[in-house]
Structure 1
Amino acid sequence: MPKYPPPDVLPGKPNRATLPAGTPVFRVHTTHREATGFNSRAAHPFYYGGRFDSTTYEKYGFLYLGFSVGAAVCEVLLRSMPFDSDGSPRLLPRVAFERRSLSFLRLTTDIEVVSLMSGTDLAAVAQDTWLVHTEGADYPQTRDWGHWIRRRTGPWAQGFVWPSKREPADRVAVLFQDRCGTAPLESAGPDPVDFGTRRGEEWLNGVLAPYRAHTAPRQRGRML
Structure 2
Amino acid sequence: MDGKTLRPFPYRFRPHWEILPAGTQLWRMHSSRYAAGEFKPFHPDDPAPGRFHGTPEDPYPSLYAATDPETALAETLLRSLPIDRGTGMRLVPRRSVLGRSLNVVRTRCELRLVSLCSGAALAAVCNSPELLESEGPEHYARTRLWARELRAEAPGAMGMIWGSKRNPSRYAVVLFGDRLADHAGGPLEALPYRSIPDLGSPEGIKEANQLLEPLRSAIDVPLHG
Question: Helix, strand or coil: the match of 2:175?
Answer: strand
What is the rounded CA distance, in whole Å, between the counterparts of 1:153 and 1:50 in structure 2? 20
- Matches of residues 118-129 of structure 1 in structure 2 within 5 Å? 118-129=118-129
Stretch of structure 1 that moved more, 81-90 or 104-113: 81-90
- Whether the 8 Å CA contact 1:64–1:173 is kept in 2: the answer is yes
Say whether the 8 Å CA contact 1:43–1:49 is kept in structure 2: no
Q: How does 1:46-195 map to 2 (within 5 A)?
A: 48-84=48-84, 88-137=88-137, 138-154=139-155, 156-181=156-181, 182=183, 183-190=186-193, 192-193=195-196, 194-195=198-199
Q: Structure 1 residues 8 and 56 mapped into 2: Cα distance closer, same or farther (>3 Å)?
A: closer
The CA deviation at 1:180 is 1.1
Go from structure 1 to structure 2 and tell me whether the alpha carbon gap of 1:219 and 1:32 turns closer, same or farther (over 3 Å shift): farther
Contact 2:98-2:200 within 8 A present in 1 as well: yes
Counterpart Cα distance in 2 of 1:187 and 1:112 = 20
For normalisation by structure 1, the TM-score amounts to 0.88
SS in 2 for 1:28: strand
Amino acid at match of 1:92: V
Give SS of 2:18's match: strand
Task: Note the alpha carbon deviations across 1:134-164, whole angstroms, 9 max, x for none.
Answer: 223411111111111111111x101111111
Is residue 27 from structure 1 mapped to residue 31 from structure 2 by the alignment?
Answer: no
| Residue 10 of structure 1, CA deviation | 3.6
Task: Please identify runs of 4+ aligned residues in structure 1 that moved more than 3 A.
Answer: 1-7, 9-12, 84-87
Q: Tell me how far apart the structure 2 counterparts of residues 91 and 108 of structure 1 sit (CA, whole Å).
A: 36
Q: Tell me, in whole angstroms, the C-alpha distance in 2 between the residues paired with 1:103 and 1:32.
A: 13
CA–CA distance in 2 between the matches of 1:131 and 1:210? 27
Q: Which moved more, 1:32-41 or 1:190-199?
A: 190-199
Q: RMSD of the TM alignment (CA)?
A: 2.3
Greater mean alpha carbon deviation, residues 123-132 or residues 133-142: 133-142
3-state secondary structure, aligned to 2:22? coil
CA distance in 2, matches of 1:198, 1:87: 21
Displacement of 1:189 after TM fit?
Answer: 3.5
Change (3 A) 1:53 1:103: same
The one-letter amino acid paired with 2:89 is: P
2:200 to 196, 199, 205: 196
Paired residue secondary structure (2:73) = helix
**Farther off after superposition, 199-208 or 84-93:** 84-93
Q: Give 5+ residue unaligned stretches, structure 1.
A: none
2:181 corresponds to 1:210: no
SS of 1:144's partner is: helix
Identity of aligned residues (%): 34
Separation (CA, whole Å) in 2 of partners of 1:175 and 1:12 = 19
Is the 2:13–2:153 contact (alpha carbons within 8 Å) kept by the matching residues of 1?
Answer: no
| Structure 2: gaps (5+ residues) | none
DSSP 3-state at the match of 2:74: helix
Work out the CA distance in 1 between the residues paired with 2:77 and 2:68: 14
Moved more, 21-30 or 80-89: 80-89
